[in-house]
Chains A and B, each alone.
Chain A
Amino acid sequence: MTQQVPATQAPRTSSRMVAPEPSAQLTKWIGVATAVSILVFIYTSFFFAPEDEVQGSVQRIFYVHVASAWIAALAFGVVFVGSIIYLVNRSMKWDALAGASAEVGLLFTTVVLVTGMLWGKAVWGVYWTWEPRLTSVLVLWLLYLAYVAIRMYVPEPTQKARFSAVLGIVAFLDVPIVYLSVKWWRTLHPEQVIVTEGGPQLPAAMLVALMVGLVAMTLVFVYFVRKRLAVTSLEDQIKREAVK
C-alpha cells in the first residue's frame, strides 16, 4: 500500500530535493560585468601598475595569483557554510551551492598553483619547493579534488550530499593554515603585504591593480557558480523527467 503524502507537504519536499535554477537573465548581465571587469583588470595589471624594480615584469603575475588565491578562500568559505546549512536543514539547494563553489574554488586554486610555480621559477629559481605555504596549498587542492571526486562518483544523491558536506567542513580547516603558514613557520613565500598592522605595504598603483583584480575575480566566481548551479539544476530536472 502506498502512503498518501499530504498536499501541503509535497511541494516542500520536492523543492528540497531539486536544486533551483538561477535566473539566466541575471547570470547573463553578471557575465557582461565580468567581461568588462576582466578588461579593466588586464589594463591595470599590465599598463597602470608600475614595473617592480627588483623582479621586473614577472612580478605582474602577483595580481592574478593573489586575487585568485583570495577568491579560492572565499569559495571554500561558501562550501563550509553551505555544508553546515545542508547538514542542519537537508535542503539540496545548499548542497548544490557548496558543490558548485567547491568546483570553482578548485579551479581558482589550480590557477594559484600554476601561476605561483611560474613566479617561483622566475624569482626563486625553482618551480616547486616543499615549504609550508606551497605544501598547505597543495593539500588544499587535493582535499577539494577529493570533494569533487566524491560528488562525481557517489551515485545516491543524499549520501553524496552528506559525505561531501562532512568533507567540505573538514577541508576548510586547511584554509586558515594556508593563510597563517607564512606567520607560523619560516617560509620562502613572502609574508602578507596587504593585511598588515601598518596597512598595505604596496605602492598605491599596485594596490589599485590588485583591488581591481579582486573585483574581477569575485565576479568570475559569482558568474561561474551561477552557471554551475544551472547545470546542476538541469541535471536534476533530467533525472526527474527520466523517472516520470
Chain B
Amino acid sequence: MNVVEEVNGPLFLAIGYGLAVVLYGGYWLFLNRRTSKLRATLTSMKAK
C-alpha cells in the first residue's frame, strides 16, 4: 500500500510550498516595510 496516499500527498505538497511562500514572502514584506520606515525617518531627520 502506498504510504503517501494515507496522508494526502497533494495536501502536504500544497502546505509545504504554501509555507515556503509565506516565509519568503513575509521576509520580503518585512524588509520593504522596514526600508520605507527607515528612509522616511532619515529624510525627516535631515530636513530638521
Contacts and interface: CB of A to CB of B under 8 A. Distances in A.
B25 to A, nearest CB: 10
B35 A227 contact: yes
Nearest to A31: B28
- Chain B's interface size range is 20 to 34
B6 to A, nearest CB: 8
Contacts of A104: 27
B5 A230 contact: no
Interface string B13-48: 101110110011001100110110011011001100
Size class of the A contact interface (CB-based, 8 Å): 20 to 34
Residue among B4, B9, B34 with the highest chain A CB neighbour number at 10 A: B9
B28 to A, nearest CB: 7
B1 interface: no
A28 to B, nearest CB: 12
B17 A64 contact: yes
A198 B24 CA distance: 34
Interface in A24-61: 54-58, 60-61
Interface of B is mostly: helix
A115 B9 contact: no
Contacts of B7: 58, 121-122, 125
Contacts of B10: 57-58
| Secondary structure dominating the interface of A | helix
A149 B25 CA distance: 22
A68 B16 CA distance: 13
Contacts of B41: 238
B31 A56 contact: no
Interface of B: 2-5, 7, 9-10, 12-13, 15-17, 19-20, 23-24, 27-28, 31-32, 34-35, 38-39, 41-42, 45-46
Given A64-B20, A224-B28, 17 more contacts: A55-B4, A58-B16, A61-B13, A61-B16, A64-B17, A114-B16, A118-B12, A118-B16, A122-B4, A122-B7, A125-B3, A220-B24, A224-B27, A224-B31, A227-B32, A227-B35, A234-B42
